[in-house]
Amino acid sequence: MIDECLHKLERLAGKEIDSALLGYSGSSISTLNNRAVVAVGNPNYEISSEDKSRVLQSARNVALPMDRCVVQTIERQYVVDGYDGVKDPIGMVGSRLETEVTIVIAATAAIQNMYRCTGKIDLQIERLVYNPILAAEAVLLPAEKEMGVVLIDIGGGTTDIAYFEGGNLLHASVLPVGGDYITRDLAIVLKTSLEHAVKIKEEDGVAGPDQASEENIIKVQNLRGKEVREVSQQVIADIINARVVELMEMIYTELKHFGCLEQMPGGIVLTGGGAQLTGIDDIMEKNLDITVRLGIPENLRGVQSDINRPEYATVIGGLIYAGSNLEISYDNKQRVNGLFNKINYWLKEFFA
């Protein structure tokens, strides 16, 4: 998959790509909030980059099981002699430097396998970034991230839950269920193929029974695709709703564990391919009693309207993140614009 994606992009760019920003997720993901303090080393008490590195390293030193590793450290804030809210302490004067960080933890084997896969195709990982951080770049407003908001990315096999506050990720977890579980339930109950179940879900599926119609009749093929029987949209909705309700219960449990239920004025933002299920935002808002909106990646100009869809949030967020955090060189603006237009078509073709 990575190999195919890389080769297609190289053909579009007309040049070899030897490094990339890589987004990651998985059921082993968890977060840990930590803080550390060090004494400023300079005699004149001016905080240096070395002081900043020391306090960050101290914050990263956490006891973990042998099969877990620190993948990413997110700097939330620094505190200089009791004054908090500092984003970058370098150059400030003080004798005591503290930091508060969020540490993203994952299974060591999963991370090693990612490096092994990219190594086999001679692709260097420029930076590893947790997927919801990328998606947040595309679908969240700065005010939402500052005040408190939950981003829920419903993928095929997993659902990422990430709570942002103060402009940064504060808590995250990954549920081992996603849109594929709804598809599988439809296929099993309706005795049809997974491919046909996907079509039914996308064209006629709704998240709640009250959104369905008994009069709307759907034709369902058997596993061989030869015989056809008819079921009402209400039956389809009942099957889907059972899995949606289960997912919402799991999400509520995680939010309760985060301790953010009373401090999220931004509410919930749903994104990912699973967020396109008709009515899922309304069902979630009604059952959780929390404001819910659909997260459409609109934070990047120049993207065609048919690419501004929730399932592309992480990919588009990766472009925004890379442009803001990595040094990118290019020959001229016209060439970059032409490449970006090509990428629009490539996204539609590759992720369709």
> How many Å apart are CA 38 and CA 51, to the nearest integer?
8
30 C-beta neighbours (distance < 10 Å), count: 15
Amino acid of residue 31? T
Identify the pLDDT of residue 333.
45
> Distance of alpha carbon 69 from its chain centroid, rounded?
20
Out of 3.30.70.270, 3.30.420.40, 3.40.50.970, 3.90.1010.10, select the CATH number for domain 128-331: 3.30.420.40
Mean pLDDT by 10 residues, the chain (352 residues): 77 79 91 95 91 95 93 94 93 95 95 90 90 96 95 96 95 95 95 94 93 90 84 94 95 95 93 95 93 90 74 91 72 46 49 46
Domain-wise residue ranges, the chain: 19-122, 128-331
Contact criterion met (CB below 8 Å) for 71 and 130: yes
Strand pairing report for 68-80 and 159-165:
unpaired
Q: Which DSSP state fits 79?
A: E
Identify the pLDDT of residue 303.
64
Identify the pLDDT of residue 304.
65
Identify the pLDDT of residue 352.
47
Identify the pLDDT of residue 247.
95
Q: What residues contact residue 76 under an 8 Å CB cut-off, 6+ apart? A: 99, 100, 101, 102, 166, 168, 170
Sign of dihedral through CA atoms 88, 94, 97, 101?
negative
Q: What are phi and psi of 306, to 5 degrees?
A: -80, -5
E strands, the chain, are 19-24, 30-39, 68-80, 83-86, 96-107, 124-130, 149-154, 159-165, 168-175, 217-221, 228-232, 268-271, 292-294
pTM here is 0.88
CATH code for the structural domain at 19-122:
3.30.1490.110
